[in-house]
């Protein structure tokens, strides 16, 4: 059984890039809440891009936060 994974990368421009494969039902709500809170704390706009992937849906989320 494959574990659900969330890959988080902070790009040079400060954008937070989040990538996931399909998240199982048991973790789906927790993952959604985590991503929403991360977006809220970053204080910027959020763009979600869903793309077909070999193992189901592949999601990229970009959060453009403010810089200090």
Q: Tokens 């959604």 belong to which residue?
A: 32
Q: d(Cα 28, Cα 26) in Å, to the nearest integer?
A: 6
Mean pLDDT, residues 7-12 taken together: 91
Angle made by CA atoms 14, 15, 20, in degrees to the nearest 5: 140
Q: Tokens 């059984």 belong to which residue?
A: 1
Q: What is the CA radius of gyration of the chain?
A: 12
Q: Is the pLDDT of residue 34 over 80?
A: yes
pTM of structure:
0.65
What average pLDDT is seen over the chain? 77
In this predicted structure, what is the pLDDT of residue 9?
Answer: 93
**Cβ(58)–Cβ(46) below 8 Å:** no
């Amino acid at each position: 059984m494959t574990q659900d994974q969330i890959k988080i990368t902070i790009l040079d421009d400060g954008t937070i890039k989040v990538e996931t494969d399909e998240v199982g039902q048991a973790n789906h709500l927790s993952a959604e809440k985590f991503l929403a809170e991360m977006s809220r704390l970053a204080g910027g706009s959020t763009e979600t891009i869903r793309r077909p992937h070999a193992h189901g849906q592949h999601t990229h989320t970009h959060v453009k936060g403010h810089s200090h």
